[in-house]
Amino acid sequence: MKILFTSILFFLFPILLFSQVDYQARAEKNLAYLIRDSILLNQIEMDNEAVRIFASAEDKKNGKAEFIVKWENVQSFLDLLIQGKKIDSLSSIENNKIVHKDFSYVEEEKPNSYKGLRIAIDPGHSANNFKTAILERRYIKMKANDVGLKKDIRFYESDLTWQTAKILAKRLRAKGAEVLITRKKGKNAFGTNFKKWKKSEFHKTLERDLKNKIITQKIYNWYLEEATEKDIYKYMNKKDLIERAKIINDFRADISLIIHYNANGNNVDKDGYLQPISNNYCMAFTGGGFMKNELSSQDARLDFLRLLLSNDLERSIALSGFIMKQHSSIAKVPVTPNKNNLRYLQRNSVYADMDGVYCRNLALSRMVKGAICFGESLMQDNINEAVLLNQKNYKEAGVRTSSRIKLMVDAYEAGIHEYLNQ
Ligand SMILES: [Zn+2]
């Protein structure tokens, strides 16, 4: 009888039932993945009534919460966050609650087909030539002798990620998905390269940041008088990442793939040649793993609350898990063993309880909404990979590349397929 009653209810009020997510249970589960440094617990409070976040530990001591989100108001709060509406006071949430008291906001079900699926692909980095790739420190240069070839090896990550994105996009579009790539070949998300950006945008951006109090007068002066090319590159990169997140969020991606290739890069000689390594592994990052001082801006705190309360984290872990599994089965790159001595995994990440998947608070893993996989597919400076990646023995979607890149595309494609069909 009870079963019958429930199914009638479900039939009559499917939307109402879908909206009854146990947000408190979800938040308690997510919290473990979100916090890398327990000092941040001095800015958060959860009980049976609400989750509260504080701008500082001091504010928590004084009971001065920045946001109080009662469990019954989570839906309205997420609605505001997901639509990207400005939330700067408690009252706006209360107001919105009135608007949404009929539960008009419903969590979307996990997509299960390509039709209408919105996929954003972000090819990491932006160098348009080897010189810029050196500046962004994302290049591979090896002596012929060290890898048993006749000619030296030379390639850079920005090219590999773009090639991956271009081929993958064509395949996913053919399946019916709507696909966005955040940048063009050799360009950043502003549609320009470093040299041009420095010439026409650098000063304007500095002035805007000064005006908006993002930088101080002292830092502004430092950029104009003392900053090196590398410093200016880093500044552009920071702005570029914010732009990429904005482009993806404006597109309202269901799935975002942030494409990178890893490297050890530790043994570089004075001429920039790398020593090949014997290790090879893949890993993926999702949001989470917040460290000390990483809840110091309101933007960061709102992203934290979204990751805590929405299903973004759970879906990102599932998606990333499938993609990593396919990396090891299709491309034969093993996932990073959970017991490893990688500092950025041991100290800056939280293991997501899924092979090769870690929660890490990177600019894009924090800011991009929806299900994400920030993939690091292989070690470019592995001796075998370096030789293979240096070859141009494969062509698809008008892109000439290495057959290794083709296998990475296969792995992403199969991983997404599995995620949709799980
Ligand atoms: Zn990278």
Distance (Å) from CA 240 to ligand 1 centroid: 14
pLDDT at 107: 75
Distance (Å) from CA 143 to ligand 1 centroid: 22
3-state secondary structure 299-346: HHHHHHHHHHHCCHHHHHHHHHHHHHHHHHHHCCCCECCCCCCCHHHH
Check if the beta carbon of residue 358 is closer than 8 Å to that of residue 351: yes
Burial class (CB in 10 A: 0-12, 13-18, 19+), 377: buried
Distance (Å) from CA 54 to ligand 1 centroid: 33
Distance (Å) from CA 17 to ligand 1 centroid: 42
pLDDT at 4: 44
Distance (Å) from CA 389 to ligand 1 centroid: 15
Distance (Å) from CA 252 to ligand 1 centroid: 23
Q: Nearest CA to 300 among 79, 240, 308?
A: 308
pLDDT at 73: 85
pLDDT at 100: 38
Distance (Å) from CA 88 to ligand 1 centroid: 34
Distance (Å) from CA 35 to ligand 1 centroid: 24
Distance (Å) from CA 165 to ligand 1 centroid: 13
Q: From CA 24, how far away is CA 31, in angstroms rounded?
A: 10
pLDDT at 43: 98
Distance (Å) from CA 132 to ligand 1 centroid: 14
* φ and ψ of 68, to 5 deg: -120, 115
Distance (Å) from CA 11 to ligand 1 centroid: 48
| Strands of the 67-70 sheet, one edge to the other | 44-46, 50-53, 67-70
pLDDT at 272: 93
Distance (Å) from CA 375 to ligand 1 centroid: 9
List the helix and strand counts (H, then E) for the chain. Answer: 19, 14
Q: From CA 387, how far away is CA 392, in angstroms rounded?
A: 11
Calculate the alpha carbon distances from 76 to 46, 313, 373, 418 in Å.
18, 19, 26, 31
pTM of the entire structure? 0.92
Q: From CA 327, how far away is CA 259, in angstroms rounded?
A: 13
Strands 178-181 vs 118-123: parallel, antiparallel or unpaired: parallel
Angle ∠(356,361,363) on CA atoms, nearest 5: 115
Q: From CA 144, how far away is CA 272, in angstroms rounded?
A: 14
pLDDT at 92: 52
Q: From CA 326, how far away is CA 334, in angstroms rounded?
A: 10
Of the CA atoms within 13 Å of residue 223, those in its CB half-sphere come to 20
Burial class (CB in 10 A: 0-12, 13-18, 19+), 45: middle
pLDDT at 99: 39
Distance (Å) from CA 261 to ligand 1 centroid: 5
Could you tell me the mean pLDDT of each successive run of 10 residues in the chain, 422 residues long?
43 46 94 97 95 96 92 85 69 48 61 96 97 95 96 98 98 98 98 97 98 97 97 97 97 97 90 95 98 96 96 98 98 93 94 97 97 98 98 98 98 98 93
pLDDT at 220: 98
Distance (Å) from CA 124 to ligand 1 centroid: 5
pLDDT at 93: 57
pLDDT at 78: 87
Check if the beta carbon of residue 391 is closer than 8 Å to that of residue 273: no
Q: From CA 292, how far away is CA 43, in angstroms rounded?
A: 11
Check if the beta carbon of residue 325 is closer than 8 Å to that of residue 355: yes
Distance (Å) from CA 78 to ligand 1 centroid: 31
Distance (Å) from CA 361 to ligand 1 centroid: 15
Q: From CA 65, how far away is CA 62, in angstroms rounded?
A: 9
- All structural domains of the chain, each given as residue ranges with its CATH number in brackets, are 118-187+235-421 (3.40.630.40)
Would you state the torsion angle of the CA atoms of residues 232, 237, 240, 241, taken in this order, to the nearest 10 degrees? -150
